[in-house]
Structure 1
Amino acid sequence: MKFDRAHDIQVKVNRILFILDLPHIDRTRVVCMRSWGSKSNAIAR
């Protein structure tokens, strides 16, 4: 499995955090990642 930063999602998350003004969340510590190459199928239930 490989991981890479998801800059497009990071921009959206930062904007949401700014608009909602959530002071208890440190935006510098929130990192969005994208993964691919897993050999298992994950199903959200």
Structure 2
Amino acid sequence: MRFIVSFVVLIVLVVGALFFFAGRATERPVTQIEKPVELGNLAN
């Protein structure tokens, strides 16, 4: 019985860690590249 409880706790920890690291990997900071634009180019 104790083995089963330990096994379930281990599985929950592994699955939780996978979700945690998967969520961290997708959080990328958004980089914005701003270029100076000539006002003459906007008039065309």
TM-score computed with the length of structure 2 as normaliser: 0.36
Structure that is richer in helix per residue: 2
Answer with 1 or 2: which has the greater Rg: 2
